[in-house]
Amino acid sequence: MKVEKRVGLEACRVGCLIMAGCFALFGGGVSAQDETLKAIGALGACNLYMTYIAVGSVADGHKHDAYDDDEAEKLLASISRFTAKVNESLQALLDAGVLSGQDGKFIAEMVGTLTLLSGQADSYLQYMQTSGKEYADSYSRHRKEAWEKIKMLLGAR
């Protein structure tokens, strides 16, 4: 429990720093639409980062026996459900055709990144059930690709 609390506090601290950075990164708009898009971008970028941390933390916690199989499966399934809901909402926003240019590209990149994060969680779940090397490799590949996209999105202006 002590490790979980420390990891949770650290994740919260990092999340706050990311959120502050995202607000600074996407600042400058004055219209209500600009403010809405800025908030979506900041919340979305923070969500990507925190989802990346959450999936990795559960996998690491399971690997080092902080989570048993049942708890790790529940946590990863929960993360996958939330990720799917966010992805559906962002895809609906794209499908509505109300975004243009960089805004649409940013949201499309977020959708792609959430898909990678979901694949990362699913790969670890498969690995837990089978111990198959292909699932461990898939987990690592999804994690690496998601991190590259997250870094790019956090650095986007």
pLDDT of residue 2: 47
Contacts of residue 41, defined as CB under 8 A and 6 or more positions apart, other chains included, come to 22, 26, 106
Task: Convert 85-103 to b/e letters by CB count within 10 Å (16 or more is b).
Answer: ebbeebbebbeeeebeeeb
Walking along the chain (157 residues) 10 residues at a time, the average pLDDT comes out as 47 49 50 83 92 97 96 95 94 91 93 96 96 96 96 78
Give yes or no for a contact between 76 and 90, defined as CB atoms under 8 angstroms apart: no
Helix (H) or strand (E) holding 142: helix 133-155
pLDDT of residue 41: 86
How far CA 31 is from CA of 25, 37, 84, 139, 149, in Å, comes to 17, 10, 30, 41, 28
Helix (H, G, I), strand (E, B) or coil at 26: coil
pLDDT of residue 35: 86
Look at the block and give the residue holding tokens 């999340």.
Answer: 15
Q: Could you tell me the pTM of the whole model?
A: 0.77
| Dist CA 87 CA 115 (whole Å) | 8
| Dist CA 94 CA 40 (whole Å) | 13
| Dist CA 56 CA 59 (whole Å) | 5
Helix (H) or strand (E) holding 100: none
